[in-house]
């Protein structure tokens, strides 16, 4: 066992706030416009394939790239291209965005047809054409994930249904509403990648989902529903692989190096629907919640819908929002207003009022060691922060900063309110920019 893993991985206890777990998914009406950024995934941005005043249909390919690490973008609505303009995402990355004024008809493009899939190559081509990326947060193009360099060494598909972030319940609703399609998507991956084992990881605070998936997988050789302890960050890729298979992913390795491929439950559910219908990834189920939201619920929205339109559908703000997050409170991205579009890998929009937001200032580290206790990999966040500010490359390497998955556990438990996870993110960026492996 790697020295960076313990027999039982540590983590933290956070309030779950699963307020919308029993809220059946509803679909919002088509908004007046959508904004479709050409970068909604990890890797190279797409190039727009449409021009201003072009008519577009639902499912039509509107953005593509000849770069390997990329994923195509499709229109989520029918209507007219009103503009193609520069877009700055919440992380400050500049790209182009296609603005479409909708016509309300939702005319499906003639190109939307079920793909012909008879072998692994056709399956991977279909996955790429679907525009599917990791729907759990990172946005890694799925066709790349499903095509490891040494496929003969990969034998296990791990399904991430932990959903350990507070508030978010979209994956839970996927289990409860589309469990059969989840199994269909899993079966397709297993068939074409010739895998032996399936591990479906679900936290034990979701007993109904565990029971349903155990019932659906009964009698399937190699399938196991793994009940995980309810702790954060149980859904992190390396943690999930360890907790479901006992295997470790070491520094610099990919899950495939440990013989596993990890897919989010919503990803495999979508994949099943795509193989049947040919409709690419143009809608997204998101959890809308938080103290400032009038009517929290799970909503299917067109990719590119503005946060403001989603909030209006959910009854607007019952209190003035002080903080709006795309994603969960542990790893989500704060936006400065609601004029941002929902993109493919968004799984939640959370809005909190001033009374809820804690803005205590940072104070000096008191050397309490709580950050070390909270880290699943036994890293030393306070020491990493010091090394980053000193720009000490050797220390950052020795302290294994690249093992950090930026889960935020260290920042959460720090009594000095130091933003340790962000320092680690910047430290990894510093190493990349200096070509340090």
Note the pLDDT tens digit of each residue in 318-335: 999 999 999 999 999 999
Give the pLDDT of residue 356. 87
Write the pLDDT tens digit of every residue in 12-67: 989 999 999 999 999 999 999 999 999 999 899 999 999 999 999 999 999 999 99
Give the pLDDT of residue 200. 98
Looking at 196-200, 287-291, 330-334, which range is the least confident one? 330-334
Domain ranges within the chain, ordered by starting residue: 29-110, 120-277, 282-359, 370-433
d(CA 205, CA 217): 20
Question: Does the pLDDT value for residue 5 go beyond 50?
Answer: no
d(CA 109, CA 60): 6
Mean pLDDT of 95-121: 97
Q: Which residues contact 341 (CB under 8 A, 6 or more apart)?
A: 34, 35, 36, 37, 97, 303, 304, 305, 306, 307
Question: Does the pLDDT value for residue 370 go beyond 60?
Answer: yes
Q: Going by CATH, does the domain composed of 120-277 fall within 3.30.70.20?
A: no
* Average pLDDT value for the chain: 94
Q: For residues 225-254, b (16+ Cβ closer than 10 Å) or e, as one string?
A: bbebebbbbbbbbbbbbbbbbebbbeeeee
Mean pLDDT of 289-293: 97
Give the pLDDT of residue 128. 97
Q: Going by CATH, does the domain composed of 282-359 fall within 3.10.20.600?
A: yes
pLDDT level of residue 358 (50, 70, 90 thresholds)? confident
Question: Does the pLDDT value for residue 435 go beyond 90?
Answer: no
Read off the tokens for 68: 């390997």
- Same topology, domains 29-110 and 282-359? Answer is no
Looking at 61-70, 224-233, 357-366, which range is the least confident one? 357-366
Write the pLDDT tens digit of every residue in 140-162: 999 999 999 999 999 999 999 99
Q: How many CB atoms lie within 10 A of CB 106?
A: 15
Q: Going by CATH, does the domain composed of 29-110 fall within 2.60.120?
A: no
Say what the alpha-carbon torsion angle 400, 406, 410, 416 is, to the nearest 10 degrees. Answer: 110
pTM of the full structure: 0.93
pLDDT level of residue 1 (50, 70, 90 thresholds)? very low
Give the pLDDT of residue 135. 85
Q: Please return the burial class of 361, using the count of CB atoms within 10 Å of its CB with bins 0-12, 13-18 and 19+.
A: exposed
């Amino acid at each position: 066992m790697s020295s960076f893993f313990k027999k039982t991985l540590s983590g933290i206890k956070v309030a779950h706030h699963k307020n919308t777990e029993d809220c059946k998914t509803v679909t919002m009406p088509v908004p007046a416009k959508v904004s479709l950024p050409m970068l909604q995934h990890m890797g190279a941005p797409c190039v727009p394939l449409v021009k201003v005043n072009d008519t577009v249909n639902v499912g039509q390919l509107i953005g593509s790239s000849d770069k390997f690490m990329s994923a195509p973008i499709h229109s989520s609505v029918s209507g007219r291209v009103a503009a193609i303009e520069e877009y700055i995402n919440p992380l400050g990355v500049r790209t182009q965005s296609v603005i479409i004024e909708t016509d309300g008809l939702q005319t499906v493009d003639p190109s939307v047809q079920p793909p012909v899939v008879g072998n692994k190559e056709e399956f991977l081509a279909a996955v790429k054409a679907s525009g599917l990326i990791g729907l759990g947060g990172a946005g890694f193009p799925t066709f790349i994930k499903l095509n490891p360099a040494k496929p003969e060494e990969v034998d296990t598909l791990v399904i991430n249904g932990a959903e350990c972030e507070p508030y978010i319940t979209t994956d839970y609703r996927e289990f409860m509403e589309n469990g059969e399609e989840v199994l269909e998507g899993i079966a397709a991956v297993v068939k074409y990648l010739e895998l032996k084992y399936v591990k479906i990881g679900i936290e034990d605070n979701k007993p109904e989902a565990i029971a349903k998936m155990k019932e659906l997988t009964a009698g399937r050789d190699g399938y196991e529903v793994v009940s995980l302890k309810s702790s954060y960050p149980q859904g992190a890729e390396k943690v999930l692989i360890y907790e479901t298979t006992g295997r470790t992913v070491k520094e610099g390795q990919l899950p495939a190096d440990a013989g596993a491929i990890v897919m989010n439950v919503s990803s495999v559910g979508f994949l099943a629907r795509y193989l049947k219908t040919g409709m690419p990834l143009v809608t997204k189920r998101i959890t809308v919640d938080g103290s400032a939201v009038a009517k929290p619920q799970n909503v299917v929205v067109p990719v590119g819908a503005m946060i403001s339109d989603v909030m209006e559908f959910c009854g607007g703000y019952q209190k003035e929002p002080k903080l709006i997050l795309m994603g969960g409170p542990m790893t989500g991205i704060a936006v400065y207003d609601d004029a941002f579009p929902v993109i493919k890998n968004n799984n939640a929009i959370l809005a909190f009022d001033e009374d809820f937001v804690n803005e205590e200032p940072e104070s000096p580290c008191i050397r309490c060691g709580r950050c070390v206790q909270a880290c699943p990999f036994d890293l030393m966040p306070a020491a990493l922060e010091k090394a980053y500010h000193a720009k000490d490359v050797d220390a950052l390497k020795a302290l294994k900063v690249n093992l950090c998955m930026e889960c935020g556990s260290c920042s959460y438990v720090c009594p000095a309110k130091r933003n340790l996870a962000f320092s680690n993110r910047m430290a990894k960026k510093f190493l990349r920019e200096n070509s340090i492996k």
